[in-house]
Amino acid sequence: MNKQRRQILIRCGAAAAATLGVPALRADERSSGRTASGVDVHIELHAITDRVAIRPGASTRVWRYQSRLLRGAAGALEASAGSYLGPIIRVRRGQRVRIDLINGLPESTIIHWHGLHVPDDMDGHPRHAIGPGERYVYEFTVVNRAGSYWFHPHPHGRTGKQVYFGLAGLFLVSDDEEDALGLPTGAQDLPLVIQDRSFDHDNQLIYLSDSLAAAPTEGSDRRGMMGGGMMDRGMAGMGGMGRMMAAMMGMFGDQILVNGRPDASLELAPRPYRLRLLNGSNSRIYKLAWADRSPLTVIGTDGGLLAAPLQRDHVMLAPAERLDLWVDFARWPAGTELTLQSLAFDNGTGGMMGGMMGGAALPDGAPFPVLTARVQGGAKGQSAPLPQRLSALPRPDPRAAVNADRPKVFNLTMGMMTWGINGQGFDMLGASALETVKLGTQEIWEFRNDASAGMMGMSMPHSMHVHGLQFRVIGRFAAGNVGRSADSTGIIDEGWKDTVLVMPQERVRILLRFEDYPGLFLYHCHMLEHEDSGLMRNYRVVA
Ligand code: C2O
Ligand code: CU
């Protein structure tokens, strides 16, 4: 039993311990007594420490998932050769999946299946984190529709660090509805995971001014980023203070990596492609556009295909959001070099915050190239046109919510150097009355980023994620109080979503349906440093 869990058990007593779900030791016992014969896909994921070559010169120390396919079609698992990212898991809707997480890290971890609708003990809540050497057995049926889901660690207070040092992969679901459209497949179905990182002179990753070797581990700072260890360093000098501020605002690296590679350049056939974009960054938002301002065709968001394609001249992509783009590279002459850029934008952080942010080598909202695409020569071939109807997407019906007239309000707040929701930080096993919902009902929630409760005029964009379900965005409003209006053009609110960007001075309303699974699930900001420092809470689904 790891320290964190022992602490929880001590704090909550034996009665609460019984509600913890499936602790590591029980999962171990379960795994030894169960055969995987009833599952379609069985994968082992070992979270390990490793070195990979990212930049010329010295290799980089990373943490990553090493994977093994124990059962299922060969296409179910694609390890990313030579990268810290991955693997890519590919399954069909309806398949039964078993995944064994084996923790080879020097600290506790757990995996969250971002966007999947699974029972609470399969969701990767931090209360299920396992210690070094332990195993957690996941088994669930994939009920989500076709879409680009993903997975990453979720231990309490150290999600940002573990994702940053490399742990993340894609979980791509296909289904019959998607198959019938004839969308690009194979090499033309291209996942693009966009991340920012900082390296030192020896090619080592720097997280909030620490290298992997120096970054606080569970033992040294088990209360997380904002815990005592960091405060001590903060007292010791300005370096610590800078680190503390960075931990509040978020990690912003000055190197943009695509699929784990710097200076990404792609050789693309003159054919239609499906580009599956994932913002896998800790805190950075991207405002994506082609340098020649060719329109972008959006066909999907977090929870899969839209009803119909959308045209945009640029799109915003907040941490953890996904966007599927359809691009026919036959429209450009062979040899054309296209640059996908992140355009300059106003992230709405004024005052002291803006000043501090300006200190980053590549501040949030600064412009930079993301990747270059070179269109190859050769036969253009027959391009299947993009269907103008993609999916039977139901229209959201806010009147079906049990609180249709009084949306629940969740203020995104900042206290004394700590984020919160309605002024409260994370509570491992707690959920308030407001955060308690009834199984089988729908509710309207409103995330408010009014910043009026902020400190020293601080306000930042937040990327709000709800575990265990897909929701619909039903409204986006200005908060109505004075302040700078941030740039929120290009935000795609259409389709099924599990993560939504809330810019400063904005309020966003979402419609959620709680079905199938009672239990304790998270909702939080996916700017991982915000999450790790308190912008995360539970909601409880009661039968
Ligand atoms: Cu992808 Cu709780 O997060
Ligand atoms: Cu945030």
Using the predicted structure, report yes or no on whether residue 447 has a pLDDT greater than 80: yes
pLDDT at res. 216: 75
> Counting atoms of ligand 1 from 1, which one is nearest the CA of 320?
1
C-alpha 216 – ligand 2 centre gap (Å): 21
Within 6 A (CB) of ligand 1 lie 112, 114, 152, 154, 320, 465, 467, 522, 524, 526
- How far is Cα 463 from Cα 415, in angstroms, rounded to an integer? 19
Instruction: Give the number of the ligand closest to the Cα of residue 318.
Output: 2
> Counting atoms of ligand 1 from 1, which one is nearest the CA of 124?
2
> Counting atoms of ligand 1 from 1, which one is nearest the CA of 150?
1
Q: Looking at residues 46-55, what average pLDDT do you find?
A: 97
pLDDT at res. 18: 31
Nearest CA to ligand 1 atom 1: 114
Nearest CA to ligand 1 atom 3: 114
Instruction: Give the number of the ligand closest to the Cα of residue 468.
Output: 1
Using the predicted structure, report yes or no on whether residue 414 has a pLDDT greater than 80: yes
Each residue's pLDDT tens digit, 327-359: 999 999 999 999 999 999 988 876 555 555 545
C-alpha 536 – ligand 1 centre gap (Å): 10
Residue 461, judged by CB atoms within 10 A of its CB (0-12, 13-18, 19+), counts as buried
pLDDT at res. 442: 98
480-498 exposure pattern, b = at least 16 Cβ within 10 A, e = fewer = eeebbebbbebbbbbbbbb
Each residue's pLDDT tens digit, 528-539: 999 999 999 999
Range scoring the smallest mean pLDDT among 83-92, 115-124, 215-224: 215-224
> Counting atoms of ligand 1 from 1, which one is nearest the CA of 152?
1
> Counting atoms of ligand 1 from 1, which one is nearest the CA of 114?
1
Each residue's pLDDT tens digit, 60-83: 999 999 999 999 999 999 998 789
Question: If you average pLDDT over every residue of the chain, what do you get?
Answer: 87
Each residue's pLDDT tens digit, 248-285: 889 999 999 999 999 999 999 999 999 999 999 999 99
Each residue's pLDDT tens digit, 305-332: 999 999 999 999 999 999 999 999 999 9
Using the predicted structure, report yes or no on whether residue 365 has a pLDDT greater than 60: yes
Instruction: Give the amino acid at 410.
Output: F
Instruction: Give the amino acid at 92.
Output: R
pLDDT at res. 357: 54
Q: Looking at residues 434-444, what average pLDDT do you find?
A: 98
Using CA atoms, how far residue 4 sits from 7, 108, 152, 156, 503, in Å, is 5, 8, 19, 9, 34
- How far is Cα 459 from Cα 34, in angstroms, rounded to an integer? 50
Instruction: Give the number of the ligand closest to the Cα of residue 281.
Output: 1
Using the predicted structure, report yes or no on whether residue 233 has a pLDDT greater than 60: no
> Counting atoms of ligand 1 from 1, which one is nearest the CA of 522?
2
Using the predicted structure, report yes or no on whether residue 25 has a pLDDT greater than 60: no
Higher pLDDT, 227 or 58: 58
As residues whose CB is below 5 A from the ion ligand 2, the structure lists 462, 525, 527, 530
Sheet with 261-262: list strands edge to edge. 261-262, 255-258, 189-197, 272-279, 322-328, 296-301, 304-312
C-alpha Rg value of the chain to the nearest Å? 22
pLDDT at res. 456: 54
Identify the helix (H) or strand (E) that includes residue 148: strand 147-153
Instruction: Give the number of the ligand closest to the Cα of residue 153.
Output: 1
Using the predicted structure, report yes or no on whether residue 494 has a pLDDT greater than 50: yes
C-alpha 248 – ligand 2 centre gap (Å): 9
Using the predicted structure, report yes or no on whether residue 91 has a pLDDT greater than 50: yes
pLDDT at res. 509: 97
The two beta strands, 88-92 and 169-174, are parallel
Q: What is the model's pTM?
A: 0.89
